Amino acid sequence: MNGKRILLIIGGGIAAYKACELVRLIRKQGGDVTCVLTEGGAHFVTAMTLAALSENPVHTTLWDLKNEVEMGHIQLSRQADLVVVCPATADLMARMAGGIANDLATTLLLATDKPVLAIPAMNVRMWQHPATVRNVATLRGDGVAVMQPDEGAMACGEFGPGRLPEPVVIAAEIARMLGTATGPLSGKHVLITAGPTHEPIDPVRYIANRSSGKQGFAIAAAAAQAGAKVTLVAGPVNLDTPQGVTRINVETARQMAAAVDAALPADVAIMVAAVADWRSAGEAVQKIKKDGSGQVPPLQLVENPDILATLCKSDRRPQLVVGFAAETNDVLDHARAKLARKGADWIVANDVATHAMGGEINGLHIVSAAGVESLPELPKAAAAAALIERIANALA
């Protein structure tokens, strides 16, 4: 971040203490930080601490006679290369979305002509409240980059999405937005599939599976944080797109196969999606009705395209192809067989009898020609980071 100037607005939440570490990381990477401490934020960290870490004056009020004679809030809002709001509380984001300018922080945000990155942190129910959902959508629609909060235990004692991401992750996103990212996958294109596919039977029914897409989306987020250009081909899931990821939505296996082919070339392909093996031979144009006879209408199935095997045989095959195998028994034996059958470099296997699809914890086994590496049980974001670290090492 050498020579880059960051204006850091610190909101009034318990996660404000992590802003101190964020300032340290930005300075360590050569960036210049000017802090704006809100009234609420001052209840958690002090201006003296932030001034010592940033080696710059800390601004706390709009009513500073010396600065405002020279329209200091306008200068602050325009001099930075990036404006970062951390933590972005529910109240602060509501005022941002409404265009309210009733203190120094919100006035700066309304006056700036520079990119803005907001990092939310709040109680899980506040994050999921319809008002916050609307406000986040409004901010993103206005061009503000809003990071997804982490999931986990919170200071309030509850568990779920709403935790502030770790400062090292935030610093990586700042570097990415500034165009200075130098992560281990910088310059690499990573292609990822995630979620289920839906194979129509008639206008109201389809063949599907229990995949939530969470692990694939977590891997996409980790790859982006590692500096990669990431293309995520996603089946029908209700998940937010990770920051810095290009998302392509599909529904069926055939659509996913076409999207994967169109996204090539790539350096790495990570095929996490739980693609339906079969589809209906013919989709009914109208809903199939019971006729009262007790006879079950026949459902003829045909095999879907094998996206992983096709990719492995392609003349545009990525340097590293990673497949996934969700198994309920004989996990490693099935994974080894799939590795040989598909022609992938790695198969990442997980036992969905132990770690149900849609859960928050995963236990991954990386199967390759070299053997098996079993990762400990981890939250999906941590499992994703561990996998991306190994992929980066393999490409180094």
Q: Give CATH for domain 189-395.
A: 3.40.50.10300
Quote the pLDDT of residue 200: 96
What is the pLDDT at residue 72? 62
Domain ranges of the chain: 5-178, 189-395
For 245-296, how does the pLDDT look when each residue is reduced to its tens digit (9 = 90+)?
889 999 999 999 999 999 999 999 999 999 999 999 988 999 998 888 888 8
Q: Which residue has the tokens 């935790």?
A: 163
Judge whether 5-178 and 189-395 match in fold. yes
pTM for the model: 0.63
Tell me the per-residue pLDDT of 23-70, one tens digit each, with 9 for 90 and over.
Answer: 999 999 999 999 999 999 999 999 999 999 999 999 998 877 565 545
Helix H, strand E, coil C: the string for the chain is: CCCCEEEEEECCCHHHHHHHHHHHHHHHCCCEEEEEECCCHHHCCCHHHHHHHHCCCCECCCCCHHHHHCCHHHHHHHHCCEEEEEEECHHHHHHHHHCCCCCHHHHHHHHCCCCEEEEECCCHHHHHCHHHHHHHHHHHHCCCEECCCEEEECCCCCEEEEECCCHHHHHHHHHHHHCCCCCCCCCCEEEEEECECCEEEECCEEECCCCCCHHHHHHHHHHHHCCCEEEEEECCCCCCCCCCEEEEECCCHHHHHHHHHHHCCCCEEEECCECCCEEECCCCCCCCCCCCCCCCCCCCEEECCCHHHHHHHCCCCCCEEEEEEEECCCHHHHHHHHHHHHCCCEEEEEECCCCCCCCCEECEEEEECCEEEECCCEEHHHHHHHHHHHHHHHHC
Residue 312's pLDDT band, with cuts at 50, 70 and 90, is very high
State the architecture of 5-178 in CATH terms: 3-Layer(aba) Sandwich (3.40)
Just list the catalytic residues: 156
Residue 294's pLDDT is what? Answer: 83
Q: Is it the case that residue 307 has pLDDT exceeding 60?
A: yes
| Average pLDDT over the chain, rounded to an integer | 91
pLDDT, tens only, 377-386: 898 999 999 9
Per residue in 332-378, pLDDT tens?
999 999 999 999 999 999 988 787 777 888 899 999 999 999 999 89
Percent of the chain with pLDDT over 90: 69
